[in-house]
Amino acid sequence: MPKGKENIGVDADIPSKSQRRREALEVRSLAARLIGLRPALLAQVPLDERVSEAISEAQRIRSNVARKRQLQFVAKLLRNTDLEPIAQALQDFERTARQTSARQHRAEAWRDCLLAGGDPALGELLHQRHDSDAQLIRQLIRKARQEADRGRPPAAARALFRALREMDEREPLPAMPEG
């Protein structure tokens, strides 16, 4: 065996250059996500004061080159902190956003179904959700149809959406009826 080559491949504990680069890119991506957060959400993330200040500074910077440099600095600071609680907080924000979006889509779908389907669709909703205010929903459907026929702004359709969304917040709305 040639002299000096005996230690190659023996040290498996040292990460490869590719692995170190992947980890650095993950930390940089995390830093970019943190910089993109609204201040109210950022305040809920468990961050060191120095990291928090660096993120705030990055959010104020408008020059692309300077912003990129600050992003790299935030990533450098993050490499010296525990990333697990930060990543968990970001996952919680994303899960909450997905749930809110799903709630909005369910309410929109039910509103459209009720406006298009009439009494059969309303009967299906009332059959599956006993906590719904049938009189209010019927009234809002009737007003929304009148507004649509007259070409007026959809105030009643919005009110119907809000009522459905409130129902969905208490308990998710049922699956849409077939047909």
Retrieve residue 18's tokens: 């590719």
* pLDDT (0 to 100) of residue 33: 93
Instruction: Tell me the average pLDDT across 144-157.
Output: 91
Query: For residue range 12-33, what is the model confidence (pLDDT) as tens digits?
Result: 678 899 988 998 899 999 999 9
Between CA 91 and CA 14, with CA 83 as vertex, the angle to 5 degrees is 130
Residue 91 burial (C-beta neighbours within 10 Å; 0-12, 13-18, 19+): exposed
pTM for this prediction: 0.64
CA distance 27 to 80: 11
Q: What is the pLDDT of residues 75-128, one digit of tens each?
A: 999 998 899 999 999 999 999 999 999 889 989 999 998 888 878 888 888 888
